[in-house]
A and B are shown apart, each in its own frame.
Chain A
Amino acid sequence: SKWALVAHGGAGVIDRSDLKPEQEQAYRDAMARVAETGAAVLRDGGSAMDAVVAAVRVLEDEPLFNAGRGAVFTAEGRNELDASIMDGRSLDAGAVAGVTRTRNPITLARAVMEQSPHVFLVGEGADGFAQTRDDVAQVEPSYFFTERRWLSLERELKEMGLPIPERPERAGHDDLAALAHDEGKRG
């Protein structure tokens, strides 16, 4: 068969007038890097599963996108992440929702699929399972913080008439995330 890979970084209100030239270039460069990362696995005869995980991890690590580092915030000012993966050959699948300390949730979803008898783990239980996996990197919740998404949260909460939560401690500032465009994911 012919190997192939397709990636997305989110859909929404993304008009030409929304993105400054440097923002558009940053998104194009990031998507190219994601595709090339997955293609490198496939070119080497690697599996579709390995290619998917390798490419999604790049997207999760890239603060421009709403996943992993650069994810949006809940109304309580937390990052609660979701992910899922499925193998077309065996119809095996793994998924997590509401996890808060796993750097790459796609890796945790795969661990659920390959290292547990379940398909879907959520919340504290999923976080607890993650801490028992040697190959699933754990981080402090502040790792996911980006300034751009925090400002989006404050704007959204004001519109909803909800209180603004305490800014997370050790919340850093991230210039690259300043290029992140809020494509309109509203609670």
Chain B
Amino acid sequence: TVGVVAVDAEGNVAAGTSTGGTTAKQWGRVGDSPLIGCGTYASNKSCAVSATGTGEFFIRLAVAKEIAALVEHKGVSLQEAVDEVVQTQLTAIDGDGGVIAVAPDGTCAWSFNTSGMYRARIADGEPLVVGIYK
């Protein structure tokens, strides 16, 4: 699974996710990636989120919308929101994976509970950051 979140110079956010799913999937199995609110969500009132991991858990928690709701309705920071959902809620139901997120003010965040996540971050006036391992 791959994904990108972005905020432009006008403060509009957007999120996109794309995947091949899981190896040897059967019976028309679909994970969270194409489900708005689970693998992908974006609102200028909160943030844009893209997720990756074992999709069934991200569907059950509606991960992307949960992160946006924490930011919009509880006023927590973007990093606190992604950590609460991934490190606490997702881990509590034995889910595995990660998310990336960006806010309308240009704040970036990511969180994952697996041993690695291919990730990159770039922003106006900031250097490119690329990561793989925890």
Contact = CB atoms under 8 A, between A and B. Distances in A.
Given A7-B3, A156-B23, A93 B36 contact: yes
B122 A39 contact: yes
A125 interface: no
B35 interface: yes
A1 B106 contact: yes
B110 A8 contact: yes
Given A52-B4, A75-B25, A84 B30 contact: no
Contact of A7 (B7, B30, B43, B119): B119
A5 B123 contact: yes
B42 to A, nearest CB: 4
SS of A interface (majority): mixed
Contacts of B26: 74-76, 187
Interface size class of B (residues with CB under 8 A): 35 or more
Interface string B73-115: 0000000000000000000000011101110111111101011
Nearest to B126: A4
B24 A162 contact: yes
Interface residues of A, number: 92
B63 interface: no
Given A6-B4, A32-B120, A82 B30 contact: yes
Contacts, number: 333
Interface stretch (A95-103, A128-136, A170-178): A95-103
A3 B8 contact: yes
A116 B26 CA distance: 29
Given A75-B24, A82-B19, A86-B15, A5 B5 contact: yes
A122 B28 CA distance: 10
Given A31-B118, A91-B43, A93-B36, A82 B2 contact: no
A62 B49 CA distance: 22
Nearest to A160: B24
Contacts of A186: 22-24
Given A9-B119, A47-B8, A156-B23, A105 B18 contact: yes
Interface in A6-22: 6-16, 18-19
25 contacts: A5-B4, A5-B7, A5-B102, A5-B121, A6-B5, A6-B109, A8-B1, A8-B100, A11-B52, A11-B117, A14-B115, A15-B116, A32-B130, A42-B8, A48-B14, A51-B6, A51-B14, A66-B21, A70-B20, A73-B20, A88-B13, A88-B48, A93-B40, A185-B20, A187-B22
